[in-house]
Amino acid sequence: MVKYFVEKAKIKNWDKEDILLWVFEKEVNYSCTFTLNDVKAHSIIFSQEIYKNREPIFALFANSGNANCLNGKAGYKALEDIEKFLQEKFKTKKRILFAQTGVIGEFFEKNKVLSALKDIKLKPLESKEDLKVCARAIMTTDSFEKYEYVEDGDLKIMAIAKGAGMIAPNMATMLCFVYTNASFSKEELDILLRYSVEKSFNRISVDGDMSTNDCVFLFSEKDGIKVDIFKFRNLLEKVLKNLALKIVEDGEGATKVMHIIVKGAKSKSKALKIAQRIGNSLLVKTAIFGCDPNWGRIVAAAGSVQTGIDANKCLLFIGPYLLFSNGEKTNYDEAKVIDYMKKNKIIKIVLDLNEGNSYEEFFASDISYDYIKINAEYRT
């Protein structure tokens, strides 16, 4: 059982809930994945230390509006003070995991948070509407709440996420929290989370910028129900993929989503590297935004990975249309391709290398005028 609390701490000058507290009524096991950025927010450093030692936890605290990153000793001390305040309030010595998101380098006003936490009124987390409320509290530039609720017999999986910009592979600024009433060991949770993150959040890109605050937390009731681990893995992967796709769809200023498939590769790692490069190419992104079937940009992006592809063997499709084959442009109807691109939110791009049997897919947003506007005005 999880209970939650949201409140308006006024971390930024906005009129929305910006702090979230999950309190675990039952003892939980947990697993975490964190950003691979060398520059990490204080919340990441704090939570990594707890996770490394597998210390017992009783709560998760998250806030939007301030990343609490590169704030010196004061940034870390603020989290220690919030944890101590909540430990005293709930009369426990168990630890708290932290997740934060917002502007990097701005002073984190912990007193606003402590004031907002003085009168905590917990509610049970038990419905889609509850998840929506929680998801709203961690939004920054997101345009809609991202959450998933799965019931399969007695099994429940509840998840929320945030993210719209600063999204890149290797823990694509995104946060995700998942709770299940199923029981798994710490070791099992590690395997489940890493497998599912690799298949979901590590397969998306909005702008190619890796955040300092990315994290995914998976919580499992220690004495919960028993579920087949493979069945749970499939459900968890589906939940995280759905959330990942919502993040790409909500990419800052995005109008289109590229579903990039690289097939016929010699290895999965090669296919993924090429798909990522295509998805992160600004020239490809802008062409997709303009509904311009500029296949040359896509093939050039694939070649720039320098993995030894042979362009004379490659086939390139946009939607159902073959645009490039045997080293040259095909005799396709450009008007039909443009019409396909204009009418569809998700643009399918398939590159067949014709050199092997490996396959990978990747999701990326386009780049629009609004992306520039949103990020140019992010602090103002």
Query: Up-side HSE of residue 380: CA atoms within 13 Å toward CB?
Result: 5
Distance CA 366, CA 129 (A): 30
Which distant-in-sequence residues (6+ apart) come within 8 Å of 120 by Cβ? 5, 21, 89
Question: How far apart, in whole angstroms, are the C-alpha atoms of residue 244 and residue 241?
Answer: 5
* Beta-strand pair 215-225/175-182: parallel
Q: What is the DSSP letter of 154?
A: T
From the list 286, 258, 261, the residue with the least C-alpha distance to 271 is 261
SS3 35: coil
- CA distances 257 to 144, 175, 252, 279, Å, are 16, 20, 12, 10
**What is each CA distance from 12 to 15, 64, 136, 378, in whole angstroms?**
9, 9, 15, 12
CB atoms within 10 A of CB 64: 28
Nearest to 225 by CA among 159, 177, 156: 156
Phi and psi based region of residue 103 (left: phi greater than 0; alpha: psi -120 to 50; beta: remaining): beta
Of 173, 180, 212, 307, catalytic:
173
Q: Could you give the CA distance from residue 354 to residue 310 in angstroms, rounded to a whole number?
A: 9
Amino acid at 27: E
173 is catalytic: yes
By annotation, the residues acting in catalysis are 173
